[in-house]
Amino acid sequence: MTAKSFDVVIAGGGMAGTTLAWALTQTNPKLSIAIVEKQAVLQAATKSERCNQASFDSRSIALAAASVELLQQWQLWPELVANACPIKHVKVSDRGHFGKVSLQHQDYQQPALGYVLEVEHLGNLLLTKLKHCQQVTWFDANSIAHITPRQDHQELELHGGQHIQAKLLVIAEGGSSPSRALAGITMPQQHYGQSAVIANLALAKNHNFSAYERFTEHGPIALLPLTKQRYSLVYTTTSMQAERLMQLSETEFLSQMQQAFGYRAGVFSGAGQRAIYPLSLGIADSIIRHRLALLGNSLHNLHPIAGQGFNLALRDIEQLVKLLSVAEDAGSYSLLRAYQQARQTDISQVAFATDALVRIFSNRSRLLALARNMGLLALLMCKPLKTPLARHAMGYRR
């Protein structure tokens, strides 16, 4: 039986994979696209059409200003903005030390430094749009069983028994990607011995669109403003302490969070369900192979200290979409080489910066504490030093 052929096959129908698929439909209507996803997402898309609401406990992503511009370019932002909370102020501090720095949106002529959006809103929107898109073929409740490279395509056998061909296979399955392993690409992991406890917190009063990041000797803790008078909490600490936080009652947990932040962020009046994630740094040993490209968490898995993960994935998508919009052969060596050259510096720089922040701020050394606090003080006092930091936080690379 002749295998069906596609220009682009995307392994992974999560946030990165579906964003890529939709962006490609917006820029290149002639491309044939397939998505292979292990979950039954078409059923989920039908459900999302009936109820496109996020729950109190929905997980969130921080979108840099530059990322919002990409979502606008791909015709997604107008349907998301009502559920997104702007970040107008960012306040950074080092617990127990004098170092502090703050960023204000008006200093950079921006309506916001970024936005916080619950993942369900973007996920539901993408699934609903792609479900009705004639350009996209779904193989959901399915996954890739074998990958066989050929000269002009990748031959894919799915666990469901189908055989398909891809001029370009894009792997966007997340950090523990089985297709990446099938392609023979490894992702060494550097474990931090830390875990992040994630939860949404209700506030007694408005947060005034302020985000907080506080560095402690055990790791950074962050509060990101959400709609409906809530914060998204990311509390990084030792794995043992994180497990203990998971066992606390809601009242005890709120008391711990109030103690950690004080009252400058407001009074916490309620906490949603908690989740725990072990933290590590992973970079795949190759961005590309023959007629194959990685993006998103399948390519880079970062510490959440600077909220860069999904923003970095969007820049992967931006570059691949740009190259595919002018390519005659979706999986040509020249295209893949250009993608690798365009992405490797950005990925390396962001990975190095986040790793350095973890090591510099998760440290009890008094000498290092003095040095980092002098650095924060210099940023506070000197606007020319602070501007590059702010532009980097907003996702602008130049």
**How confident is the model over 133-158, as a mean pLDDT?**
96
* Average pLDDT over the chain, rounded to an integer: 86
| Structural contact between residues 118 and 226, judged by C-beta atoms closer than 8 angstroms | yes
In the block, residue with structure tokens 């999302």: 48
Domain boundaries, the chain: 4-66+120-188+280-356
The residue that leads in pLDDT, 150 or 374, is: 150
The residue that leads in pLDDT, 351 or 81, is: 81
4-66+120-188+280-356 maps to which CATH number? Answer: 3.50.50.60
The confidence score (pLDDT) of residue 47 equals 55
The confidence score (pLDDT) of residue 386 equals 47
> 359 pLDDT exceeds 90?
no
Q: Which of 147-156, 252-261, 291-300 has the lowest mean pLDDT?
A: 252-261
Helices (H), the chain: 15-27, 41-50, 65-73, 119-131, 178-182, 239-247, 250-261, 309-324, 333-361, 366-381, 383-393
Q: Which of 201, 202, 241 is nearest to 218 (CA)?
A: 241
How many CA atoms are closer than 13 Å to the CA of 6, on its beta-carbon side?
23
Look at residue 296 and give its three-state secondary structure: helix
In the block, residue with structure tokens 């919009």: 325
Query: Secondary structure of the chain: what % helix, strand, coil (to 5)?
Result: 40, 30, 30
What span, in angstroms and rounded, lies between the C-alpha atoms of 65 and 24? 21
What span, in angstroms and rounded, lies between the C-alpha atoms of 348 and 353? 8
pTM score, whole prediction? 0.88
Task: Classify the C-alpha dihedral 164-166-7-32 as positive or negative.
Answer: positive
Report in angstroms the alpha-carbon separations of 387 from 214, 356, 394: 20, 20, 11
> 210 pLDDT exceeds 80?
yes
What span, in angstroms and rounded, lies between the C-alpha atoms of 31 and 19? 15
Q: Which of 35-44, 83-92, 120-129, 312-321 has the lowest mean pLDDT?
A: 35-44
Amino acid at 55: S
Q: Which of 173, 144, 136 is nearest to 160 (CA)?
A: 144
> 100 pLDDT exceeds 80?
no
Q: How many other C-beta atoms are found inside a 10 Å radius of the C-beta of residue 267?
A: 11
| Structural contact between residues 314 and 20, judged by C-beta atoms closer than 8 angstroms | no
Strands 136-140 and 33-37: parallel
Q: Which of 92, 300, 70 is nearest to 185 (CA)?
A: 300
Range ranked top by mean pLDDT from 52-66, 309-323, 367-381 = 309-323
The residue that leads in pLDDT, 216 or 256, is: 256
**How confident is the model over 382-388, as a mean pLDDT?**
49
| Structural contact between residues 142 and 156, judged by C-beta atoms closer than 8 angstroms | no
The confidence score (pLDDT) of residue 263 equals 87
> What is the DSSP secondary structure assignment for residue 4, as one 8-state letter?
E
Look at residue 26 and give its three-state secondary structure: helix
The confidence score (pLDDT) of residue 57 equals 74
